Chains A and B, each alone.
Chain A
Amino acid sequence: MNPIWGDIAGFFIIAMMLAFIGIWVWAWMPWHKRVFNDLARLPMEDDGANAIATEDKP
């Protein structure tokens, strides 16, 4: 096998690791907190009976 494939695989692994760390950082950004808290409560709505006012509308 051509050794270039080893370099490509190495580059791919590093890129995937960076993407993964990037997702962590993105998810923990403080400005997502309010939206994520609203979303975490979304399933608790009982078919509209106890609808939770979500401020995250289109």
Chain B
Amino acid sequence: MSTIETYDDKVVRLFLFASAVWGIIGMLVGMYLAAELAWPFWNLDVPFLTFSKLRPDHTFGVIFAFGGSALMGTCYYVVQRTGHTRLALPRLAEFTFWGWQLICVLAMVTMPLGMTQSKEYAEPEWFVDILIAIVWVSFGWVFFATLARRRIRHIYVANWYYGAFIIAVGLLHIVNNIAIPVSMTKSYPVYSGAVDAMVQWWYGHNAVAFFLTAGFLGMMYYFVPRQAQQPLWSYRFSIVNFWALISVYMWAGSHHLMYTALPDWVQSVGMAFSLVLLMPSWGSAANGLFTFNGSWHRLKDDPAAKFMVMALVFYAAATFEGSLMAVKTVNSLSHYTDWTIAHVHSGSLGWVAMITIGSLYAMAPRALGRPEMYSRKGMELHFWLHLIGTLFYVIAMWAAGVTEGMMWRATNPDGALTYSFLDSLIAIKPLYMFRWFGGVLIWLGMWVMAWNLWYTAADARKPIISPIPVPIPEPDVHQSPAPLPAHG
């Protein structure tokens, strides 16, 4: 008996919903922290509301909860479509959803209470780390099992990026979090001194590389050609860029430790690889932008395409800036200043958030059984709120960073420092207010997206949507091995 195989989008919808919720929560915390920096009384003398305690909640909330949910949801969506097959192991896939949400809640509750390893972007304590490892391995299992049952021989390039993201993040997480627990809530890393610093920034930088770049490039390589309705500009170029990116990125982490106790040659290796990294980064950005050739008119009335194009522009700009900042002489000006904050946010708000939002707007109608998003005007409003907010944020922090760098290195003829630290803080205070305002606009935009998704999901909530059939290719004569039978 022949049956119709359909895509399994249930877990995709769950992750879609979760990413919208975590986006609002993570960015609310960021906005509150920006307010604390501009007006310190906002810490209200409550320990867990101070910047130091809340900051990991912002980074974990936006990177792992918002970004992670979007990555896992789109990954499950893309691997099915590019393999013409249904998701393997649907129960395990659902476990990865609930497991990931539990991890996010546990991490964001325990970190402000002081349960932290004090490793940047790897703050959660050992009991959360073990849960992360279990869920991550399950995620990889579902992804690779689905890939194994694909009906298209070649693995589409987006899946290469998603695969690299899954393998590398698992490796980084486990190696960086090897620790000895001394109680239920406290552990100590097995590394110490400069080795600890190097392992931490090997992890920290590659979290940027494989979580915030490779994963989102996977998103870009699928959703950009789809939204542009143009074939990918150069498929073979995407293969070269993939191998170049993943082989070079691993070596660049030491640029986070310029002018520290790390051996000088290790710092130079980080600088050299960071410069080389510009080529594959711009290669992918160019590939995405050129894919819009012949479809530029779509930008007039398609806000999802606008988000994607702007994301690629920010990706090109932020990667150029990153390579520049890894040059030792530039780093001597930029390090420890708000220039770093500007760079991180032009990458995260400009590239990561915009490609995510564009992809969610592209994916949501298909996953929610609607012809298009509920409100195109809502999408348009979101685009402008996000873009203006991001520009407010990064321009203010660029100005603040250069101001700090110049003031900190200024000396009098007798060699004494011209300015105290407090002088630089007073000089940049208005810029902190601008940054907060930019954050408010971005956060309001996330509410607009959540509202729009909620109404787009009206049918899915009832639930009265029909699952989408998998296109099963006709087998060739004498095809070997035989194609997979359809699974209803």
Contacts and interface: CB of A to CB of B under 8 A. Distances in A.
B223 interface: yes
Q: Which secondary structure dominates where chain B touches chain A?
A: loop
Interface in A7-57: 16, 20, 23-24, 27-28, 32, 35-37, 39-48, 51, 53-54, 56-57
Interface residues of B, number: 42
Nearest to A32: B236
Interface stretch (B28-36, B225-233, B409-417): B225-233
B383 to A, nearest CB: 22
Q: Report which residue of B82, B151, B230, B235 has the largest number of chain A beta carbons within 10 angstroms of its beta carbon.
A: B235
Contact of A41 (B231, B243, B476): B231
Chain A's interface size range is 20 to 34
A46 to B, nearest CB: 8
Contacts of A56: 152-154
Contacts of A45: 81, 471
A42 B468 CA distance: 17
Interface in B436-488: 468-471, 473, 475-476, 479, 481, 483
A41 B236 CA distance: 13
A43 B247 contact: no
Contact of B470 (A37, A48, A57, A58): A48
B366 A44 contact: no
A57 B223 contact: no
A51 B471 CA distance: 7
B239 interface: yes
Given A16-B247, A28-B236, A57-B476, A44 B154 contact: no
A48 B236 contact: no
A28 B366 CA distance: 35
Nearest to A16: B247
A25 B234 CA distance: 15
A42 B152 contact: yes
Q: Report which residue of A32, A35, A54 has the largest number of chain B beta carbons within 10 angstroms of its beta carbon.
A: A54
17 contacts: A20-B247, A23-B240, A37-B235, A40-B231, A40-B235, A41-B231, A42-B156, A43-B222, A43-B223, A44-B225, A45-B471, A47-B366, A47-B468, A56-B153, A57-B152, A57-B473, A57-B475
The 9 closest A-B pairs by CB, nearest first: A48-B471, A40-B231, A27-B236, A36-B235, A40-B232, A43-B226, A51-B471, A43-B225, A40-B235
Given A23-B240, A54-B152, 7 more contacts: A40-B235, A41-B225, A42-B156, A43-B82, A57-B153, A58-B150, A58-B481
Interface of B: 7, 81-82, 150-154, 156-158, 221-226, 229-237, 239-240, 243-244, 247, 366, 468-471, 473, 475-476, 479, 481, 483
